[in-house]
Amino acid sequence: MRNIELKSYYADNDLEKMISKNKFDLDSILVKTKRYKNKIQAESKFPSSKLKLQTEYYFEKGTLQLIRFTEISDGFKKYDAKKVTEFYYVDGIKVAEKVRSIIPGILAELGVPKDTDKAFGYNKNWTTDFLLNLAEQIMRNATE
């Protein structure tokens, strides 16, 4: 997993030229994508809740390595609190997943609640199954 994370870091620092931009709707979700050689960036807006979800796909030699979802805390935007869900792939097969909350030090000093999803306003319906399904739909539309 660490090796994949390093490759994604290098991809972020060497995006090269954008290949394409796209906008489309998935049900009621407005999605904007930017496609690069080794990365696809997507921003999904959910009009009913005003929430945004950022998705990043990382590739090596055309093979998917990592999908990263980032949900910014609606209630703690100025503190940059976020929830990150990552799916790791080897030879096109999902081998691991990781979900973590990133809580800035100033908020951690106050104590971390047991239910960070509720405390920070994260959408509890965005399960790993939902995110994987959304990722598949976005990638299908972004690569057409």
* Domain spans in the chain, listed from the N-terminal domain onward: 2-142
Average pLDDT of the chain, as a whole number: 85
Alpha carbon of residue 141 to chain centroid: 16
The pLDDT value recorded for residue 78 is 54
**Once rounded to an integer, what is the mean pLDDT over residues 74-91?**
81
The pTM for the full model equals 0.87
Q: Which of 9-18, 41-50, 59-68 has the lowest mean pLDDT?
A: 9-18
The pLDDT, as a whole number, for residue 52 is 87
Summarised one tens digit per residue, pLDDT across range 7-16 is 888 888 878 7
Strands 51-60 and 63-72, sheet pairing: antiparallel
Write out the E strands in 3-50: 20-26, 29-35, 39-46
Answer whether residue 131 shows pLDDT above 80: yes
Side-chain half-sphere of 84: how many Cα atoms within 13 Å? 13
